[in-house]
Structure 1
Amino acid sequence: MTIAVVGSINLDIVTRSPRLPKAGETLHGSSYATFLGGKGCNQAVAASRLGSTTHFIGRVGQDGFGQEALTQLASFGVSRQYVQIDEKTATGIAVIGVDANAENAITVIGGANMALDESDIQRALEPLQAADILLLQLEIPMAVCEGAARLAHNNGATVIFDPAPAPKEGLPDSLLGMIDIITPNESETYSLTGILPTNALEAEKAANALHDKGVKAAIIKLGAHGVFYSGYGTQGFVKPFKVEAIDSVAAGDCFNAGLAHSLDCAKAINSESFAEAVRYAAACGALATTKHGAAPAAPYAEEVHKLLG
């Protein structure tokens, strides 16, 4: 069983201040640091750290940020074989503000991530065709997501899609029909369904709306309020795990990686394995908030098992 990830890789610049600035306001911060990030890269690092064989497909620029990103990627044990160095476009970056309550505001500059095209899929045909699970996000062009999803779907792989950042125009029906599991948070759910879920009942309505659009399974992430899931003949709610949160960056990415890893270990997706995978994923997301940074926040399997009890 293997996992393929097609997505973004960034160098993240993380700033810390007592609160996030308002429009037009300048604040004195307390510190800053640079980390490996990008939603695709975060998911690949997290899945690999949990123990799954993982292939990452992406791009960086031919610049200092790109070299730093590739060096850090290798340090996490993720192969750079299918990461192309783009000579024409700068490496993607994210500027992330984090406040004293671990809430964040993020500005992403896609750079080389937005230069991905069909050629990246063709270069990585071998791992994409061999993958049992494909992880996708939206920090790369929609057309690339569709192309990768179609390839995985036609090969019988499970497509797990994180619709972030959610496009205002929604997702094309052609893509929705190839998604096995979609994992929006509250704001992304609103963009996709017109329902802003604040509890399990509203999340169920949103999940049903996503089912109506052709998605097999929907997982509505409600942040500190828990997770609602529906699909594979079951639905339920996972209460939030109690942890000391210091940084919510990459929590959603670690959630999706944990979901993929658990399903990877289960070998077959049914009502029981799906419910167990959602709980495992929720634990991964919670643990990610206890560490600073994006990719470095990914939990290890033993940490997840300890939290799950």
Structure 2
Amino acid sequence: MKGAGSSDKQAFNSPFLQLSGLVDMTFETPLILSFGSINIDLTARSQRLPRPGETVHADSYAIGLGGKGSNQAAAAARLARSFDLDVALAGRVGCDAFGAQARASLSGFGVDLSPLRDDPENPTGIALIGIDTLAENCITVAGGANMAVDGTDIDAAAPGLERAKVLLLQLEIPQEAVLAAARRTRRAGGTVVLDPAPAPEQGLSEPLWSEIDILTPNESETFSLTGIRPTTVEEARKAADILLAKGVGAVLVKMGAKGVFWHNGTASGHLAPFRVVPIDTVAAGDCFNAGLAVALALGKSLPEAAKIASACGALATTRHGAADAAPEWDEVAALVAG
């Protein structure tokens, strides 16, 4: 797989950076693989949302890359430009104009698309998004090719799954495929990070819990999975204990404006939120996970990786869009340095 940010590799491989512990020397070129959904978002902004049976005129509209799998891959690739890291995406798109658009957008971010398959029978997934002047929204998702992901996609992505240092998973493809991907990567020694979004009403399948190295639920997903809404650090701790008891290796509870609580079963901590002026939170979760993956691929500890992830999520809220809101590494480093 072709490396992202190859022009920066010589500078990155300096003895100083290696001795500082920023480079993990155990992998020649660490791979971050996102296995998940690829959508095209069609977003209309209007004064108000239509009522049932009503048509309203939009003030503007936009067509762009979406889907949690592709958003996390794009954000990780933008961060990885500064390092000797590869970022790839596995999943499905349709053989249609939206599929071609998704491929072009992802390639522009530097994502390796060799594991991404074309589906001749199903269209590329789309999300129809309406937003009003108060930032209220309504979203209809047609999963298309995403919902057809199955064992054949696992086989096609096997080289990446077995090479991945960090595997990013979400729940916008069938859980059976998520489980199979996690097992393949963990057997090869990689780290599996699951963003449990959207949180399924029936919860996670029992076998999946023990295949998750790091779970990253937000407030609503934590409530869905544990029955506890983490509005305080103590509530986040209780929720994390429940999730750890199910077999998860570590938990990062994203508490929104109240920061992040992390717990790995033996140690825990709370990270206060970074001070930014948010204007759009749509990309925060995906950029958080992308930052976490990059930090882990660079050999950072869980608390250090959580801080980097939190900075990435915070910066994403300072601009509009999904994948386009992903920050550059120098912005993240400056925010973390404070």
TM-score, normalisation: structure 2: 0.85
Tell me the amino acid that sits aligned with residue 194 of structure 2.
F
Change (3 A) 1:262 1:104: farther
Of the three residues 155, 158, 164, the one matched with 1:131 is 164
Aligned residue for 2:122, secondary structure, equals coil
Of the three residues 49, 60, 65, the one matched with 1:36 is 65
Moved more, 99-108 or 141-150: 99-108
Alpha-carbon distance in structure 2 between the residues aligned to 1:171 and 1:264: 26
**Corresponding residue for residue 202 of structure 1:** 235
Q: Deviations over 1:237-268 (max 9, x none)?
A: 1222222222211210110010111111126x
**Corresponding residue for residue 140 of structure 2:** 107
Verify the 8 A CA contact 2:219 2:255 in the aligned structure 1.
yes
Verify the 8 A CA contact 2:276 2:315 in the aligned structure 1.
yes
Verify the 8 A CA contact 2:244 2:265 in the aligned structure 1.
no
**Corresponding residue for residue 49 of structure 1:** 78
Q: CA deviation at 1:151?
A: 0.6
Q: Deviations over 1:53-110 (max 9, x none)?
A: 1111011111111111111111111122111111110110112334556565433211
Q: Which structure would you say has the larger Rg?
A: 2
**Corresponding residue for residue 323 of structure 2:** 295
What is the count of residue pairs matched by the alignment? 304
Alpha-carbon distance in structure 2 between the residues aligned to 1:99 and 1:227: 29
Q: CA deviation at 1:280?
A: 0.6
1:131-280 mapped onto 2 (5 Å cutoff): 131-231=164-264, 233-266=266-299, 273-280=301-308
Tell me the amino acid that sits aligned with residue 9 of structure 1.
I
Q: For CA contacts below 8 A with separation 6 or more, give which structure has more relative contact order.
A: 1
Q: Once the two structures are aligned, what percentage of the paired residues are identical? A: 55
Q: CA deviation at 1:21?
A: 6.2
Alpha-carbon distance in structure 2 between the residues aligned to 1:99 and 1:236: 38
Tell me the amino acid that sits aligned with residue 190 of structure 2.
A
Q: Does 1:284 align with 2:312?
A: yes
Tell me the amino acid that sits aligned with residue 200 of structure 1.
V
**Structure 2 alignment gaps of length 5 or more:** 1-29
**Corresponding residue for residue 20 of structure 2:** none
**RMSD (Å) for aligned C-alpha atoms:** 1.9
Q: Does 1:306 align with 2:334?
A: yes
**Corresponding residue for residue 16 of structure 1:** 45
Q: CA deviation at 1:234?
A: 2.1
Change (3 A) 1:21 1:215: farther
Moved more, 146-155 or 218-227: 218-227
Verify the 8 A CA contact 1:176 1:213 in the aligned structure 2.
yes
**Corresponding residue for residue 97 of structure 1:** 130
Verify the 8 A CA contact 1:102 1:246 in the aligned structure 2.
no
Alpha-carbon distance in structure 2 between the residues aligned to 1:162 and 1:229: 14
